[in-house]
Amino acid sequence: MKRYRIRRAGPLRGRLRVPGDKSIGHRALIFAALARGRSTITGLSAGLDNRATAEAFRAMGVGVAIDGSTAVVDGVGLTGLGMPQRVVDCGNSGTTMRLLAGLLSAQRFGTRMVGDASLTRRPMGRVIEPLRARGAHIAGSAPGPNVKAGASSDELYPPISIAPLVEGEQLRGIEYEMPVASAQVKSCLLLSGLYAAGPTAIHEPVLSRDHTERMMIALGVPLATQGSMAVLDPNADWPHGWDPFDWEVPGDPSSAAFLIAAALMVPGSGLQIEGVGANPTRTGFFDALRAMGAPVQTTPKGFAAGDEPIAEHAVAQGAVHGRVVGGELLVRMIDEVPVLCALAAVATGRTEIRDAAELRVKESDRIAVMARALADFGCNVEELPDGLIIEGGATLHAARVRSHGDHRIAMSAALLGMVADGETIVDDVECVETSFPGFAGLLRRLGASVDEEEVAS
């Protein structure tokens, strides 16, 4: 087991790049595996989540060679996947499991997908139910011992079992009104829709991240989008497949958010972060920063990975002011809420986070866990059913924080430790490798005092 030991230090200074966007990395690997020939993906995150997706395709007969941040994938086409020779282990990656559930539900072989203890707590009914509605033979599991008390007995969790479609069977078209905006559910249904007998029409309450749609359109898939609507018609005139490609994965805006927040929090800091993804469905955190008066300058720098905009961010330490964050803005920054909480602790005034109930079913209950962590640091915080109210400006003191196996909790606590009096300990930080490999070492190079230690489990 590993932990962080953190003390005040700084300032943070430097020019850098962050790991590749793992959401885009997952999808690039999927589309490369289904391409007709060899694709090359550069800028891939070295984190464990993208590795889980690569390993899943290896189990299905796809050649995937990864060297550092470059992956060479020998695609087998839409109909070339083989039955896995073993259980597909998705590790900690809910994206891997939910997206592959859609793809594998359309195959003529069976699959069983499992995950680690954290993933086993994450609900899967949101993909299982619409897949069943279109004719998939897919089943989840009842709540197990890892699922928190009070969870619905009707909800379904990993492991997931998928039985094959028999000869003559095909998934049906579906028109689906999503109760909650979710890029994972949307992508799951679009991937299954590639194999369906009729169109797939999806409507979200608000538009979630649209990486899947951008990639499909770039590859010639007959997909039309308008606002929060997406319609895929597999019976349109298209070659039912795509050629291989060379794509670069932009830097992860969620990873960049931690460094930007750290620079805003630590006095005297100044950072420049290159090559960061700037997809409008992912820039909610930066919009929130502007509303809070943060001195962050963003410069567009072109496109990557099909049609993904990229940008450079320059940030210096400066005063930020509390604001209400919710609604459509919250959807576009759902992964960055924990780091916004850390920043809110040093802001002037009150920050109110609403419409974030989805955070209760991430790798941890991020609302409850962040509320406890903030209180441990000496921050005045109120937990709401769908968010938090954080009173900024209190003098923070060192704390000992459990990550609960959640990488974003671990990194957010590390930032709070960098501005707290005394020595902070963050336990169980191996999870950070899922999304931001080398996080502690990078902070040290920039000027922080963040040591990573092995401890007896």
CA distances to 101, 170, 171 from 166, rounded to whole Å, are: 17, 8, 11
Measured CA to CA, the distance from residue 185 to residue 57 in angstroms comes to: 20
Residue type, 27: R
H helix intervals, 4-45: 22-33
H helix intervals, 172-219: 183-193, 211-218
- Tell me the CB-side half-sphere exposure of residue 145, using CA atoms within 13 A: 0
Measured CA to CA, the distance from residue 349 to residue 144 in angstroms comes to: 42
What SS3 class is residue 212? helix
What is the model's pLDDT at position 148? Answer: 56
The one-character DSSP state at 186 is H
Residues 6+ apart with CB under 8 A from 100: 30, 53, 56, 88, 90, 111, 113
What SS3 class is residue 391? strand
Cis peptide bond prior to 11, omega within 30° of 0:
yes
What is the model's pLDDT at position 153? Answer: 64
What is the model's pLDDT at position 85? Answer: 87
What are the 10-residue block averages of pLDDT along the chain, 457 residues in total? 94 96 97 98 93 97 97 98 95 96 98 95 96 98 68 84 96 97 97 98 96 97 97 97 97 97 97 97 96 96 93 95 95 95 98 96 94 98 98 97 96 98 97 92 97 88
Measured CA to CA, the distance from residue 129 to residue 125 in angstroms comes to: 6
What is the model's pLDDT at position 220? Answer: 97
C-alpha torsion sign, points 421, 433, 17, 392: negative
- Three-state SS for 208-248 is CCCHHHHHHHHCCCCEEEECCEEEECCCCCCCCCCCCCEEE
Closest CA to 77 of 243, 197, 191: 243
Centroid of chain to Cα 120: 17
For 262-289, the DSSP string reads: HHHHSTT-EEEEEEEE--GGG-HHHHHH
Count other Cβ atoms within 10 Å, centred on residue 300.
10
What is the model's pLDDT at position 152? Answer: 59
- Please say whether the beta carbons of 128 and 163 come within 8 A: no
H helix intervals, 204-308: 211-218, 253-265, 284-291
At which residue do the structure tokens 């919009």 appear?
A: 287
Pairing of strands 229-232, 223-226: antiparallel
* Domains, the chain, with CATH or none: 2-20+250-454 (3.65.10.10), 22-236 (3.65.10.10)
What is the model's pLDDT at position 147? Answer: 61
- This prediction has a pTM of 0.91
116 is catalytic: no
Of the residues 335, 365, 376, 428, only one is catalytic, namely 335
Measured CA to CA, the distance from residue 389 to residue 395 in angstroms comes to: 17
Query: How far separated are the first and last CA of the chain, in Å rounded?
Result: 5
